[in-house]
Chains A and B, each alone.
Chain A
Amino acid sequence: MKLQTATRLGLYAILELARDPERTLSSAELAERFGVSSHHLAKVLGTLSNAGLVRGGRGAAGGYRFTGNRRRITLMDIVALFEPVPGNRAKEPGEDTDIGAALQRVLVEIDEIAEATLASITLETMLKSKDSL
């Protein structure tokens, strides 16, 4: 499975910030930690902030901190901010044919399994398993 860059950065940022909700980190600090573009990460943090999951910002030096519930927010909640929601997409040409419909059933099966995985892993579960590595 390939995630869009914004999704991956969103997951990096939320998990790093959720690790210690007391701590404030700027987009530049987060970008350096993961070796990614600070500009791109700033945009991603804006999306997370609009969703009410982090608070802070204002300028390159402004810090962000986690304001969500680690035990409630799942990986799917973050992915859904950046990726098209599965099942909520435009119809592709050929989907009404028998072959198109058969292919669609396979793709829906894959989407459902991916969604079950992402929606069942909370930030808390993710951070706990990382600690036990």
Chain B
Amino acid sequence: MRSLPMTNIRPAQASDLTAISALDERETGLAKPEYWREMLAPDRHFLVAETEKGALAGFIAGEIRAWEFGQPAAGWVFAIQIDPKLRLKGVGSELFEALVARFKEKGVTRVRTLVERKDHLILSFFRAQGMVAGPSLQLDIDVT
């Protein structure tokens, strides 16, 4: 079985922020502690997975948004990050499933995310969760 034994999923707390920021900075090269602090707001869903020793294994953050871009309420996944040493053990899937369960409790029937199209690794992860291309196309312009 791929699952990490005794991985515990729970809502993130202020005391997790240092470890969350550090993990994210290691993976993205960008420090954004304020962004993660804002994810603790009550309307956000911010979950962490911890190992049985209480260390951070990964986190996921999202929110239910209605009528953005004319679309009815959907659960949005803003971020997911897993400690590289603990990948391929199902932690990401557990976090995703826990977030989806919370969205469903709130009556949401669709879950969405945005992924950099050259990031095939994270695209593969969401595909493996059953996600497919959504109804929208993201458009973008450089206005410098």
Contact = CB atoms under 8 A, between A and B. Distances in A.
Interface in B86-144: 117-118, 120, 123-124, 126-128, 130, 133
17 contacts: A112-B117, A113-B117, A116-B117, A116-B118, A116-B123, A117-B133, A119-B120, A119-B123, A120-B123, A120-B124, A120-B126, A121-B124, A121-B127, A122-B127, A128-B130, A129-B130, A132-B130
B87 to A, nearest CB: 12
A106 to B, nearest CB: 13
Given A120-B126, A125-B128, 15 more contacts: A74-B120, A74-B124, A112-B118, A113-B117, A116-B118, A116-B123, A117-B133, A120-B120, A120-B127, A121-B124, A121-B127, A122-B124, A122-B128, A124-B128, A132-B130
Q: Is the interface of B mostly helix, strand, loop or mixed?
A: helix
A59 B102 CA distance: 56
What are the 10 closest A-B residue pairs judged by CB atoms, nearest first?
A120-B123, A116-B117, A119-B120, A120-B124, A120-B127, A125-B128, A125-B127, A120-B120, A121-B127, A112-B117
Interface in A80-133: 112-113, 116-117, 119-122, 124-125, 128-129, 132
Contacts of A120: 120, 123-124, 126-127
Contacts of A124: 128
A74 B127 CA distance: 11
Contacts of A122: 124, 127-128
A113 B123 CA distance: 12
Contacts of A129: 130
Nearest to A121: B127
Contacts of A117: 133
Contacts of B117: 112-113, 116
Contacts of A125: 124, 127-128
Contacts of B120: 74, 116, 119-120
A119 B128 CA distance: 12
B138 to A, nearest CB: 11
A77 B124 CA distance: 13
Contacts of B128: 122, 124-125, 128
A112 to B, nearest CB: 6
Nearest to B132: A129
By CB atoms of chain A within 10 A, which of B117, B127, B130, B133 has the most? B127
Contacts of A121: 124, 127
A128 B124 CA distance: 13
A116 B127 CA distance: 11
Chain B CB within 10 A, most for which of A112, A125, A132:
A125
